[in-house]
Protein backbone atom coordinates (compact mmCIF):
# COMPACT_ATOMS: atom_id res chain seq x y z
CA UNK A 1 0.00 0.00 0.00
CA UNK A 2 1.43 3.41 -1.84
CA UNK A 3 3.85 8.93 -5.14
CA UNK A 4 4.63 7.48 -8.54
CA UNK A 5 7.55 9.06 -10.44
CA UNK A 6 7.33 10.05 -14.09
CA UNK A 7 9.25 6.94 -15.10
CA UNK A 8 6.75 4.81 -13.21
CA UNK A 9 3.86 6.41 -15.05
CA UNK A 10 5.56 5.76 -18.37
CA UNK A 11 6.04 2.13 -17.42
CA UNK A 12 2.37 1.87 -16.51
CA UNK A 13 1.33 3.39 -19.84
CA UNK A 14 3.38 0.71 -21.58
CA UNK A 15 2.08 -2.12 -19.39
CA UNK A 16 -1.54 -1.22 -20.10
CA UNK A 17 -1.09 -0.60 -23.83
CA UNK A 18 -3.69 -2.11 -26.12
CA UNK A 19 -3.01 -4.57 -28.91
CA UNK A 20 -5.23 -5.44 -31.87
CA UNK A 21 -6.50 -9.05 -31.82
CA UNK A 22 -5.60 -11.32 -34.73
CA UNK A 23 -8.36 -12.12 -37.21
CA UNK A 24 -10.34 -15.36 -37.05
CA UNK A 25 -10.57 -15.73 -33.27
CA UNK A 26 -13.55 -15.41 -30.98
CA UNK A 27 -12.36 -12.70 -28.63
CA UNK A 28 -14.67 -13.34 -25.72
CA UNK A 29 -13.92 -15.05 -22.44
CA UNK A 30 -15.78 -18.29 -21.59
CA UNK A 31 -18.18 -17.06 -18.91
CA UNK A 32 -19.29 -20.61 -18.01
CA UNK A 33 -15.77 -21.93 -17.36
CA UNK A 34 -15.39 -23.14 -13.76
CA UNK A 35 -12.16 -23.63 -11.82
CA UNK A 36 -10.96 -27.21 -12.29
CA UNK A 37 -9.23 -28.32 -9.11
CA UNK A 38 -8.16 -31.98 -9.30
CA UNK A 39 -6.87 -32.39 -5.77
CA UNK A 40 -4.57 -30.07 -3.80
CA UNK A 41 -2.34 -27.61 -5.64
CA UNK A 42 0.22 -25.29 -4.09
CA UNK A 43 1.41 -21.82 -5.05
CA UNK A 44 4.40 -19.81 -3.81
CA UNK A 45 3.67 -16.22 -2.87
CA UNK A 46 6.73 -13.98 -2.49
CA UNK A 47 6.40 -10.32 -1.58
CA UNK A 48 9.26 -7.86 -1.08
CA UNK A 49 8.72 -4.64 0.89
CA UNK A 50 11.12 -1.77 0.11
CA UNK A 51 11.21 0.78 2.94
CA UNK A 52 12.40 4.14 1.59
CA UNK A 53 12.62 7.80 2.49
CA UNK A 54 10.90 10.40 0.32
CA UNK A 55 14.10 10.82 -1.76
CA UNK A 56 14.29 7.14 -2.64
CA UNK A 57 17.05 6.14 -0.22
CA UNK A 58 16.56 2.55 0.90
CA UNK A 59 16.34 1.74 4.61
CA UNK A 60 15.54 -1.97 4.25
CA UNK A 61 14.16 -4.66 1.97
CA UNK A 62 12.00 -7.28 3.67
CA UNK A 63 10.95 -10.49 1.93
CA UNK A 64 7.88 -12.48 2.95
CA UNK A 65 7.45 -15.90 1.39
CA UNK A 66 4.73 -18.50 1.85
CA UNK A 67 3.11 -21.60 0.39
CA UNK A 68 -0.62 -21.49 -0.29
CA UNK A 69 -2.43 -24.77 -0.92
CA UNK A 70 -5.91 -24.94 -2.41
CA UNK A 71 -8.16 -27.94 -3.06
CA UNK A 72 -7.97 -29.63 0.34
CA UNK A 73 -10.91 -31.68 1.69
CA UNK A 74 -13.94 -29.54 2.41
CA UNK A 75 -12.76 -26.96 -0.16
CA UNK A 76 -10.23 -25.71 2.39
CA UNK A 77 -7.01 -23.79 1.85
CA UNK A 78 -3.87 -23.87 4.00
CA UNK A 79 -0.79 -21.71 4.55
CA UNK A 80 2.62 -23.21 5.34
CA UNK A 81 6.35 -22.44 5.25
CA UNK A 82 5.73 -18.73 5.92
CA UNK A 83 9.06 -16.93 6.39
CA UNK A 84 10.51 -13.43 6.59
CA UNK A 85 14.04 -12.16 5.88
CA UNK A 86 15.52 -8.66 5.50
CA UNK A 87 18.59 -6.77 4.37
CA UNK A 88 19.65 -3.12 4.14
CA UNK A 89 21.39 -3.12 0.74
CA UNK A 90 18.37 -3.90 -1.43
CA UNK A 91 20.04 -6.93 -3.02
CA UNK A 92 18.62 -10.41 -3.62
CA UNK A 93 20.88 -11.78 -0.90
CA UNK A 94 19.14 -12.35 2.42
CA UNK A 95 20.25 -13.92 5.70
CA UNK A 96 18.53 -17.06 6.90
CA UNK A 97 14.77 -16.51 6.94
CA UNK A 98 12.76 -16.68 10.14
CA UNK A 99 9.71 -18.93 10.30
CA UNK A 100 6.36 -17.35 11.19
CA UNK A 101 5.17 -20.22 13.35
CA UNK A 102 1.84 -18.56 14.22
CA UNK A 103 0.81 -18.90 10.56
CA UNK A 104 1.95 -22.49 10.01
CA UNK A 105 -1.05 -24.60 9.03
CA UNK A 106 -3.44 -21.62 9.07
CA UNK A 107 -6.50 -23.01 7.28
CA UNK A 108 -10.04 -21.96 6.39
CA UNK A 109 -12.76 -22.73 3.79
CA UNK A 110 -12.07 -21.21 0.39
CA UNK A 111 -15.46 -19.50 0.60
CA UNK A 112 -14.38 -17.43 3.65
CA UNK A 113 -13.65 -14.28 1.59
CA UNK A 114 -16.09 -12.14 3.60
CA UNK A 115 -15.02 -13.57 6.95
CA UNK A 116 -11.38 -12.61 6.40
CA UNK A 117 -12.33 -8.94 6.82
CA UNK A 118 -13.69 -9.60 10.33
CA UNK A 119 -11.56 -9.12 13.49
CA UNK A 120 -11.81 -12.75 14.64
CA UNK A 121 -10.63 -14.32 11.40
CA UNK A 122 -6.87 -14.11 12.01
CA UNK A 123 -6.84 -16.18 15.17
CA UNK A 124 -3.42 -16.34 16.80
CA UNK A 125 -1.92 -13.54 14.66
CA UNK A 126 0.03 -10.85 16.55
CA UNK A 127 -1.42 -7.32 16.16
CA UNK A 128 1.66 -6.15 14.23
CA UNK A 129 1.53 -8.98 11.66
CA UNK A 130 0.01 -6.85 8.89
CA UNK A 131 2.26 -8.23 6.15
CA UNK A 132 1.19 -11.78 6.98
CA UNK A 133 -2.44 -10.68 6.80
CA UNK A 134 -1.64 -9.09 3.44
CA UNK A 135 -0.57 -12.49 2.10
CA UNK A 136 -4.08 -13.78 2.76
CA UNK A 137 -5.91 -10.69 1.48
CA UNK A 138 -3.75 -10.40 -1.63
CA UNK A 139 -4.25 -14.06 -2.56
CA UNK A 140 -8.00 -13.70 -2.23
CA UNK A 141 -7.78 -10.54 -4.37
CA UNK A 142 -5.76 -12.25 -7.12
CA UNK A 143 -8.15 -15.19 -7.28
CA UNK A 144 -11.23 -12.94 -7.26
CA UNK A 145 -9.88 -10.64 -9.98
CA UNK A 146 -8.71 -13.55 -12.11
CA UNK A 147 -11.48 -16.10 -11.65
CA UNK A 148 -14.79 -14.37 -10.91
CA UNK A 149 -15.12 -11.62 -13.51
CA UNK A 150 -14.93 -13.32 -16.93
CA UNK A 151 -18.50 -12.38 -17.81
CA UNK A 152 -17.77 -8.68 -17.20
CA UNK A 153 -14.53 -8.41 -19.19
CA UNK A 154 -14.30 -7.26 -22.82
CA UNK A 155 -11.03 -7.05 -24.70
CA UNK A 156 -9.08 -3.84 -23.98
CA UNK A 157 -12.06 -2.28 -22.21
CA UNK A 158 -11.66 -1.18 -18.56
CA UNK A 159 -14.23 -2.72 -16.24
CA UNK A 160 -14.88 -0.54 -13.20
CA UNK A 161 -15.55 -2.96 -10.35
CA UNK A 162 -18.58 -1.83 -8.31
CA UNK A 163 -19.07 -1.93 -4.54
CA UNK A 164 -15.39 -1.84 -3.62
CA UNK A 165 -15.10 1.62 -2.05
CA UNK A 166 -14.53 0.70 1.61
CA UNK A 167 -12.80 -2.44 2.81
CA UNK A 168 -12.51 -3.09 6.54
CA UNK A 169 -9.21 -4.70 7.50
CA UNK A 170 -10.26 -7.15 10.20
CA UNK A 171 -10.33 -4.56 12.96
CA UNK A 172 -6.93 -3.12 11.99
CA UNK A 173 -8.18 -0.17 9.94
CA UNK A 174 -9.70 0.39 6.51
CA UNK A 175 -8.84 0.76 2.83
CA UNK A 176 -10.86 3.14 0.63
CA UNK A 177 -10.84 2.44 -3.12
CA UNK A 178 -11.30 5.37 -5.51
CA UNK A 179 -11.64 3.35 -8.73
CA UNK A 180 -10.76 -0.32 -9.13
CA UNK A 181 -10.39 -1.41 -12.76
CA UNK A 182 -9.87 -4.76 -14.49
CA UNK A 183 -8.78 -4.97 -18.14
CA UNK A 184 -8.57 -8.12 -20.24
CA UNK A 185 -5.63 -7.27 -22.50
CA UNK A 186 -5.23 -10.46 -24.52
CA UNK A 187 -4.03 -14.07 -24.59
CA UNK A 188 -0.63 -15.22 -23.36
CA UNK A 189 1.10 -18.45 -22.28
CA UNK A 190 2.37 -19.55 -18.88
CA UNK A 191 3.48 -23.02 -17.83
CA UNK A 192 2.34 -24.42 -21.16
CA UNK A 193 -1.18 -23.11 -20.62
CA UNK A 194 -3.02 -20.68 -22.87
CA UNK A 195 -4.07 -17.91 -20.51
CA UNK A 196 -6.25 -14.83 -20.35
CA UNK A 197 -4.04 -11.91 -19.33
CA UNK A 198 -5.91 -9.61 -16.97
CA UNK A 199 -4.52 -6.27 -15.78
CA UNK A 200 -5.80 -4.71 -12.58
CA UNK A 201 -5.17 -1.24 -11.19
CA UNK A 202 -6.45 0.99 -8.38
CA UNK A 203 -4.88 4.42 -7.87
CA UNK A 204 -5.33 7.26 -5.34
CA UNK A 205 -6.70 5.03 -2.57
CA UNK A 206 -6.79 6.01 1.11
CA UNK A 207 -5.28 3.70 3.72
CA UNK A 208 -5.90 3.95 7.46
CA UNK A 209 -4.21 1.48 9.83
CA UNK A 210 -4.62 1.39 13.59
CA UNK A 211 -3.35 -1.21 16.05
CA UNK A 212 -1.99 -1.19 19.62
CA UNK A 213 1.49 -0.19 18.41
CA UNK A 214 0.88 2.44 15.72
CA UNK A 215 -1.42 4.43 13.47
CA UNK A 216 -0.88 5.04 9.77
CA UNK A 217 -2.72 7.26 7.30
CA UNK A 218 -1.56 7.13 3.72
CA UNK A 219 -2.06 7.09 -0.02
CA UNK A 220 -1.94 3.80 -1.93
CA UNK A 221 -1.60 2.91 -5.60
CA UNK A 222 -1.57 -0.77 -6.61
CA UNK A 223 -1.58 -2.67 -9.89
CA UNK A 224 -0.48 -5.91 -11.51
CA UNK A 225 -1.27 -8.68 -14.00
CA UNK A 226 -2.86 -12.12 -13.72
CA UNK A 227 -2.42 -15.10 -16.07
CA UNK A 228 -5.54 -17.32 -15.89
CA UNK A 229 -5.61 -20.68 -17.67
CA UNK A 230 -8.38 -20.91 -20.27
CA UNK A 231 -8.50 -24.68 -19.70
CA UNK A 232 -8.59 -24.95 -15.89
CA UNK A 233 -9.18 -21.31 -14.85
CA UNK A 234 -6.36 -21.72 -12.34
CA UNK A 235 -3.90 -18.89 -11.72
CA UNK A 236 -0.69 -19.67 -13.60
CA UNK A 237 1.13 -16.49 -12.56
CA UNK A 238 0.36 -13.10 -11.04
CA UNK A 239 2.23 -9.93 -10.15
CA UNK A 240 1.50 -7.28 -7.54
CA UNK A 241 2.96 -3.78 -7.22
CA UNK A 242 1.99 -1.28 -4.55
CA UNK A 243 3.27 2.18 -3.65
CA UNK A 244 2.35 3.70 -0.27
CA UNK A 245 3.18 7.15 1.03
CA UNK A 246 1.88 8.04 4.46
CA UNK A 247 2.29 9.35 7.98
CA UNK A 248 2.94 6.79 10.69
CA UNK A 249 2.91 7.44 14.41
CA UNK A 250 4.17 4.93 16.94
CA UNK A 251 2.39 4.96 20.27
CA UNK A 252 5.70 5.91 21.90
CA UNK A 253 6.18 8.98 19.66
CA UNK A 254 4.71 12.45 19.94
CA UNK A 255 4.84 13.30 16.22
CA UNK A 256 4.19 11.19 13.13
CA UNK A 257 6.92 10.31 10.62
CA UNK A 258 6.65 10.20 6.84
CA UNK A 259 7.09 6.73 5.36
CA UNK A 260 7.36 5.40 1.82
CA UNK A 261 6.89 1.70 1.11
CA UNK A 262 7.03 0.02 -2.29
CA UNK A 263 6.26 -3.66 -2.59
CA UNK A 264 6.59 -6.23 -5.36
CA UNK A 265 4.85 -9.60 -5.23
CA UNK A 266 4.76 -12.73 -7.38
CA UNK A 267 2.27 -15.58 -7.13
CA UNK A 268 2.98 -18.79 -9.04
CA UNK A 269 2.56 -22.59 -8.88
CA UNK A 270 5.26 -24.07 -6.66
CA UNK A 271 5.41 -27.58 -8.11
CA UNK A 272 4.86 -29.05 -4.63
Q: Could you read off the pLDDT of 122-145 as tens digits, one per residue?
A: 999 998 899 999 999 999 999 999
Least confident of 92-96, 118-122, 202-206, 212-216: 212-216
DSSP 8-class letter at 100: -
51, pLDDT greater than 90:
yes
Cα gap 32→254, rounded to integer Å? 56
CB 220 within 8 A of CB 205: yes
**Does 227 fall in a domain?**
yes
**Does 78 fall in a domain?**
yes
Q: Nearest to residue 191, comparing CAs of 227, 162, 217?
A: 227
SS3 10: helix
Cα gap 150→226, rounded to integer Å? 13
Long-range (24+ apart) CB contacts under 8 A made by 185-188 are 185/16, 185/18, 185/19, 185/155, 185/156, 186/19, 186/21, 186/155, 186/156, 187/230, 188/227
* pLDDT for 176: 95
Mean pLDDT of the chain: 90
30, pLDDT greater than 50:
yes
**Does 98 fall in a domain?**
yes
* pLDDT for 199: 98
Q: Report the domain count for the chain.
A: 1
**pLDDT tens digits for 254-264?**
888 899 999 99
Q: What is the mean pLDDT of residues 77-97?
A: 97
Q: What is the 3-state secondary structure (H, E, C) of 123-176?
A: CCCCCCCHHHHHHHHHHHHHHHHHHCCHHHCEECECEECCCCCEEECCCCEEEE
**Does 4 fall in a domain?**
no
**pLDDT tens digits for 226-256?**
999 999 999 999 999 999 999 999 878 888 8
**Does 14 fall in a domain?**
no
The helix or strand, by DSSP H or E, that contains position 50, with its residue range, turns out to be strand 41-52
Confidence of residue 9 (pLDDT cuts 50, 70, 90): very low
Considering the entire predicted model, what is its pTM? 0.88
19, pLDDT greater than 70:
no
**Does 8 fall in a domain?**
no
Q: What is the DSSP string of 205-271?
A: EEEEEE-SSEEEEEEEEEEEEEEEETTT--EEEEEEEEEEEEEEEETT-SS-EEEEEEEEEEEEE--
Least confident of 102-111, 145-154, 156-165, 174-183: 156-165
**Does 201 fall in a domain?**
yes
Cα gap 243→74, rounded to integer Å? 37
**Does 65 fall in a domain?**
yes
122 or 8: which leads in pLDDT: 122
Confidence of residue 23 (pLDDT cuts 50, 70, 90): low
* Domain encompassing residue 88: 38-269
* pLDDT for 24: 64
Amino acid sequence: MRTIAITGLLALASAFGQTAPPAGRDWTLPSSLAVKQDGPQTWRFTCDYYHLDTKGHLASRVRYSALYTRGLPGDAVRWSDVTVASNTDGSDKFPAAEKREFMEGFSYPHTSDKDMLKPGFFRGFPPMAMQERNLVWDTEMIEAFGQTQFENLKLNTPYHVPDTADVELAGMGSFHHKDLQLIWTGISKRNGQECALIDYRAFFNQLDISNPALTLTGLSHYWGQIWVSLTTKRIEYATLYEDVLGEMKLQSQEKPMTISVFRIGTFEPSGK
